[in-house]
């Protein structure tokens, strides 16, 4: 009875673990350095760090708690009932029964940009949103593939994971700003009091925070790309149709790069939860934009789906 065609992808797990380990390492190093600075100068820096943590934590917690409402209003989406969108609800109902999941709230955003996102702090408070453009462009099997991808994000609790992962970057970002103002005002006052140390300390804190911010930003983007691959994988295994997901990806990516920029900017804040990024990544600086991208390249995603296709087609499972 241990036969399965659904063995986990070890390589992906290892890469994701390494990324999260590095993120944790940066966090620990950051804490050590800040404590070092604090013990050198005393309470005034401590207070700033404390405020940054409180503010950053509060910010992250609020955005996590209200993620469904924030995302819906940002996208201008409206919640639809089964009577208003019977086909969409039918697909979601069946996927939920197949995956044994709670049914998310279903919403439609009236934009022509073909995309979808899922958000919410847990499966009970999750929202699944597709754009009108997506429904117009994809047939129902492809739409199902996209929805299975989004529901995998919900099952993997990606909103929570990414919020916790971003916490460090948020705090570091706040500290850069605080230290900058500290340098401007506090440092200036310090000099007049014959205390050059404070300016130096604020400068050190700003540099350290900026470095931490940059590193954690890259790691978060890397983690986001791995989470996308994981959602592709789970989605394709759920429907058993990796090739349909491939064709949906190609259609959506092709259409995404033809959309005028004005639409793109309004959709950009939601990028991390989208099915495909709302940016054209085929720029000359491909390697740089790859490192900053929230989504893996189309080639990578399709390559993975090819692998799943072979895995599902084995005559005798492992």
Partner 1 sequence: MGFLDTLFGRTKPVQPKLDDLFALPSAALTLEAGTGFTPTGSGSVSFRAVEGKTFADITKDVRELLDMSAGEPGGGLPVEVTKDTFGYTWVVSSHMSDDVQGLVTDLHAVNTALVDNGFGPQLLCTLVAFRDSSERRLALVYLYKRGTFYPFAPLPGEKRDNALELEVRGALGDDLKIEQDLTRWFPVWGAPGL
Residue 168 touches partner 1, criterion: CB under 8 A: no
C-beta separation of 234 from 151 below 8 A:
no
Q: How far is the C-alpha of 23 from the C-alpha of 137, rounded, in Å? A: 38
Toward partner 1, which CB reaches closer, 227 or 301? 227
Toward partner 1, which CB reaches closer, 55 or 161? 161
C-beta separation of 308 from 301 below 8 A:
no
Q: Is 19 left (phi over 0), alpha (psi -120 to 50) or beta?
A: alpha
Bridging pattern class, strands 105-109 and 127-131: parallel
Q: Nearest to residue 210, comparing CAs of 43, 28, 21, 30?
A: 30
Q: How far is the C-alpha of 195 from the C-alpha of 226, rounded, in Å? A: 48
Q: Dihedral angle at the C-alpha atoms of 230, 231, 236, 239, nearest 10 degrees?
A: 140
Which tokens sit at 316?
A: 């005798």
Q: E strand or H helix at 105, and its extent?
A: strand 105-109
Q: E strand or H helix at 51, and its extent?
A: helix 43-65
Query: What distances in angstroms separate CA 302 from CA 42, 141, 298, one per listed residue?
Result: 54, 17, 6
Residue 5 touches partner 1, criterion: CB under 8 A: yes
Residue 243 touches partner 1, criterion: CB under 8 A: yes
Q: Which of 53, 59, 70, 96 binds partner 1 (CB under 8 A)?
A: 96
Q: Which stretch binds partner 1 (CB under 8 A): 41-49, 85-93, 264-272, 276-284?
A: 85-93
**How many chain residues bind partner 1 (CB under 8 A)?**
54
Residue 11 touches partner 1, criterion: CB under 8 A: no
Toward partner 1, which CB reaches closer, 137 or 156? 156
Q: Which of 68, 144, 150, 183 binds partner 1 (CB under 8 A)?
A: 144
Active site residues: 150
State the minimum distance, in angstroms, from the CB of residue 89 to partner 1.
8
Q: Dihedral angle at the C-alpha atoms of 256, 277, 271, 30, nearest 10 degrees?
A: -160
Toward partner 1, which CB reaches closer, 16 or 174? 16
Residues in the chain: 318
Q: Which of 81, 193, 261, 314 binds partner 1 (CB under 8 A)?
A: 314
Per-residue binder mask for partner 1 (CB under 8 A), 17-46, x = binder: x--x--------------------------
State the minimum distance, in angstroms, from the CB of residue 261 to partner 1.
31
Q: Which of 11, 36, 76, 86 binds partner 1 (CB under 8 A)?
A: 86
Which tokens sit at 19?
A: 């990324």
Q: Nearest to residue 245, comparing CAs of 159, 154, 121, 237?
A: 237
State the minimum distance, in angstroms, from the CB of residue 231 to partner 1.
7
Residue 315 touches partner 1, criterion: CB under 8 A: yes
Toward partner 1, which CB reaches closer, 98 or 207? 98
Q: How far is the C-alpha of 299 from the C-alpha of 297, rounded, in Å? A: 5
CA atoms within 13 A on the CB side of 229: 25
Residue 303 touches partner 1, criterion: CB under 8 A: no
Q: Which of 111, 126, 239, 253 binds partner 1 (CB under 8 A)?
A: 239
Q: Name residues contacting partner 1, limited to 192-231 (CB under 8 A).
A: 226-227, 230-231
Residues that bind partner 1 in the complex, under the rule CB under 8 A = 3-6, 8-9, 12-13, 16-17, 20, 82, 86, 90-91, 93-94, 96-100, 102-103, 140-141, 144, 152, 155-158, 160-161, 226-227, 230-231, 233-234, 237-244, 309, 312-315, 317
């Amino acid at each position: 009875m241990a036969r399965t065609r659904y063995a986990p992808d070890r390589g992906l797990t290892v890469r994701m673990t390494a990324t999260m380990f590095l993120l944790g390492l940066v966090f620990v190093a950051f804490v050590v350095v800040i404590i070092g600075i604090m013990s050198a100068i005393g309470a005034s820096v401590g207070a700033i760090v404390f405020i940054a943590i409180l503010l950053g934590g509060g910010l992250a917690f609020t955005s996590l708690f209200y993620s469904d409402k924030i995302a819906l209003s940002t996208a201008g989406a409206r919640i639809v009932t089964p009577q208003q969108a019977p086909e969409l609800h039918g697909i979601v109902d069946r996927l939920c029964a197949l995956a044994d999941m709670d049914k998310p709230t279903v919403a439609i955003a009236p934009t022509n940009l073909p995309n979808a996102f899922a958000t919410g702090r847990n499966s009970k408070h999750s929202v699944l949103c597709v754009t009108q453009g997506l429904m117009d462009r994809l047939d129902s099997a492809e739409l199902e593939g996209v929805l299975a991808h989004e529901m995998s994000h919900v099952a993997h609790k990606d909103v929570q994971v990414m919020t916790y992962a971003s916490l460090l970057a948020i705090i570091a970002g706040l500290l850069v700003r605080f230290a900058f103002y500290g340098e401007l005002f506090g440092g200036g006052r310090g000099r007049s009091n014959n205390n050059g140390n404070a300016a130096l300390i604020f400068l050190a804190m700003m540099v350290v925070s900026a470095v931490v911010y940059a590193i954690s930003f890259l790691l978060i983007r890397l983690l986001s790309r791995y989470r996308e691959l994981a959602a592709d994988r789970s989605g394709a295994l759920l429907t058993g149709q990796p090739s349909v997901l491939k064709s949906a990806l190609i259609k959506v990516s092709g259409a995404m790069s033809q959309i005028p920029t004005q639409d793109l900017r309004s959709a950009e804040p939601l990028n991390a939860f989208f099915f495909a990024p709302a940016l054209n990544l085929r720029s000359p600086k491909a390697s740089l934009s790859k490192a900053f991208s929230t989504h893996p390249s189309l080639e990578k995603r399709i390559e993975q789906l090819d692998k799943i296709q072979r895995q599902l087609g084995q005559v005798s499972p492992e």
